[in-house]
């Protein structure tokens, strides 16, 4: 009985670690692909020019666990890129990423 409980606990913990590791790897692939896009290059240049003017600008990324659009498949991940100027935070673009095909599906800009 004790061996069965230990095995079940081990499988549960290993499964959680495996899922977290897969999610981390997926995010790393997404970041690498994002860095190669023209949208990211333009945003990087904008941040560099703001920093030259003395404005502290930062980027942040949020990953949505549940997809906004419930009609899409579960393998699609949504990431939101924010620009933070210290006094204001704005969404720069939203990325749809297919975690099975390991590629960016779409980048949506100008959300206003």
Mean pLDDT by 10 residues, the chain (112 residues): 39 42 77 89 90 88 68 76 86 88 87 61
**Rounded Cα gap, residues 27 and 72, in angstroms:** 19
Fill in the DSSP letter of residue 19: H
Which stretches does DSSP call E strand in the chain?
Answer: 58-64, 76-84, 89-98, 103-109
99 phi/psi in degrees, rounded to 5:
-75, -15
pLDDT value for 70? 56
Tell me the residue range of the domain where 51 lies: 2-109
Rounded to 5 degrees, what angle do the CA atoms 22, 76, 92 make? Answer: 100
Dihedral (Cα; 39, 42, 45, 47), 10-degree rounding: -60
Total domain count, the chain:
1
How far does Cα 75 stand from its chain's mean position?
Answer: 13
The first and second tokens of residue 81, run together, are: 């890129």
pLDDT value for 99? 82
- State the pTM of this model: 0.67
CATH number, domain containing residue 24: 3.10.450
Residue 100, SS3? coil
């Amino acid at each position: 009985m004790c061996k069965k409980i230990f095995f079940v606990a081990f499988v549960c913990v290993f499964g959680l670690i495996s899922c977290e590791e897969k999610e981390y790897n997926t995010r790393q692939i997404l970041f690498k692909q994002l860095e190669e896009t023209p949208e990211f290059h333009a945003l990087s240049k904008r941040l560099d020019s703001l920093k030259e003017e003395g404005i502290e600008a930062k980027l942040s990324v949020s990953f949505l666990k549940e997809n906004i659009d419930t009609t899409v498949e579960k393998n699609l991940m949504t990431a939101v890129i924010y620009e933070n100027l210290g006094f204001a935070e704005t969404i720069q673009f939203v990325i749809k990423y297919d975690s099975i095909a390991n590629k960016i599906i779409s980048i949506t800009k100008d959300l206003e």
